[in-house]
Amino acid sequence: MDVSDWVDARNGFIRGEIFTSEEVYQAELKNVFARSWVFLAHDSMLKKAGDFIQNYIGEDPVVVVRQADGSVKAWLNQCRHRGMRICRADRGNTRYFMCSFHGWVYDREGSLVQVPHEEEAYAPETFDKADYGPRQVPRLHNYKGFWFGNWDETAPDFEDYIGDFKYILDSHIDRHEGGLEVVGQHRWIIPANWKYNAEQPSNDSYHAETSHASALTVLERSRKKRREEKGEPDNRVSMATRAAAARGKQFSGGFGHGAGWHEMPEGAMRYQAELPATMEWEDSVRDKVEERLDPYRNANRSHANLFPNFMMLANGTMRVTHPRGPNEMEIWAWTFAPAEAPDEVKEEIRVNVLRTFSAAGMFEQDDAENWLEEQRIFRGYMARQDPLVYTMRIGDARRGLGGVPGIIAPSVYADEGARGMYHHWAELMSGDSWDDIARRNAERLAQVPHAEADNSQEI
């Protein structure tokens, strides 16, 4: 599908048609979601043989199951008989799955093993159960406990797909030797296009001081009150202070991945409101984390999105934004905490995410209101005629700026992440082969000057 009338990522212009068109949406299911790596499950969700979880790739439901040998399989959650969902439970443990329509039974591997009245209903010379298992997800990859799946056997290997985004992803999921575990889950539906919740973590720190002014004011007051009561040194930087400062960077990866972060002053750490046990524990393990990552990534945590729809925040929120038509998204959000942290810390993290980025969270309410309003406005014909402006810091990004891999803009207030995301989205929508897309992507990245060859950028 040619989307060049609506997306000019090189020059930073996007038209509202891509957020509302049914034709665009159907092409996205085929060209974006059926060809990209999508998060499916975490090891802590599949601890023993028979543990399963339902998830989606685009609008296609899949079941992810731990096998007896410890491996994991994922298959389309659709009975071959009449197309019903085979498994209707969100998660659990079982040896077999039975379709509740006519009773066809499948084992953990997705093989059809029992058909009611098979001998009476089907001729043995034309019916073999081995031919009627659900479609398997052919590409699965476990990256540090996180399982990703891909329908497309021609797509790049997962680690080639994430490329320089590994630097960002590791800062979220590989901070602690014991890894992460799930301590909470929330789901909610927003009548707005899925790309808003992919673009924002890829790109947008710009909205925070305006959209979240009320929430930031509440948190700042509680921060000052607690500091005064405890007589604590003020070596931490509040969220309100970070939101008002442009100091930071923005990341754009080759295949649409994006991230942004505010940079802390030398020696300062992020302030996590109302999380005294978490702050104390993080201080106690700071040396280990800095040795595992580096001091820069420990102090400067990002918001990020692994294209197309796996987003993560510094507070432990990780979520998949499932598309539900051009005008609706369904968010599945998990709260992750360090597995080796004390229970008190895990509980603080869980409650903090509930308060801030759950369906009723202070920040989530602000974000959802913005996306709802955008979607309503784009119903208008004239509202979709003029392109939106994605030109912040255009031309200023450099490869490897500040020692950070990828295409890096020298300010947190930039649109480099969004331009990279929509450039890759348009490439996939073309339907061209992954080989052609990867070749053009490499050529595009090679045109970006390297920071070491350009001393004009202030780090």
Full DSSP string of 249-304: EEEE-TTS-EEEEEPPPTT-EE--TT-HHHHHHHHHTHHHHHHHS-HHHHHS--EE
DSSP count for the chain of H helices, then E strands: 15, 24
CA dihedral 291, 297, 303, 306 (to 10 degrees): -60
**279-to-9, 271, 284, 309, 348 alpha-carbon distances in Å:** 40, 8, 9, 30, 10
DSSP letters, 36-104, are S-EEEEEGGG--STTEEEEEEETTEEEEEEE-TTS-EEEEE---TTT---S--SSEEE-SEEE-TTT--
Considering only CA atoms, give the Rg of the chain: 23
Average pLDDT across the chain, whole number:
92
Mean pLDDT is lowest, of 87-101, 149-163, 211-225, 245-259, for 211-225
**44-to-57, 145, 317 alpha-carbon distances in Å:** 20, 8, 15
C-beta of residue 245 within 8 angstroms of C-beta of residue 291: no
Q: At 324, phi and psi to the nearest 5?
A: -135, 55
Residues 248-281: b if buried by 16+ CB within 10 A, e if exposed: bbbbbbbbbbbbbbbbbeeeebbbbbebebbbeb
Token reading at 300 = 């400067």
Please check the confidence at residue 459 and state whether its pLDDT lies above 50.
Answer: no
- Looking at the chain, the whole-number percentage of residues with pLDDT higher than 70 is 92
Please check the confidence at residue 55 and state whether its pLDDT lies above 80.
Answer: yes
pLDDT at 442: 93
- Region for 236 from its dihedrals, namely left if φ exceeds 0, alpha if ψ lies in -120 to 50, beta otherwise: beta
Flag whether the pTM goes above 0.85. Answer: yes
Question: pLDDT tens, 18-42?
Answer: 999 999 999 999 999 999 999 999 9
- What is the rounded CA–CA span in Å between residue 312 and residue 318? 4
Give 114 or 266, the one with higher predicted confidence. 114
**Residue (of 415, 405, 454, 369) closest to 168 by Cα position:** 405
- What is the rounded CA–CA span in Å between residue 396 and residue 403? 16
Identify the band that residue 458 occupies on the pLDDT scale cut at 50, 70 and 90: very low
> Which residue, chain included where needed, has tokens 């990859």?
141
- What is the rounded CA–CA span in Å between residue 194 and residue 48? 33
Q: How many CA atoms lie within 13 A of 192 on its CB side?
A: 21
Q: Rounded to an integer, what is the distance from CA 202 to the centroid of its chain?
A: 9
CA dihedral 121, 85, 77, 36 (to 10 degrees): 130
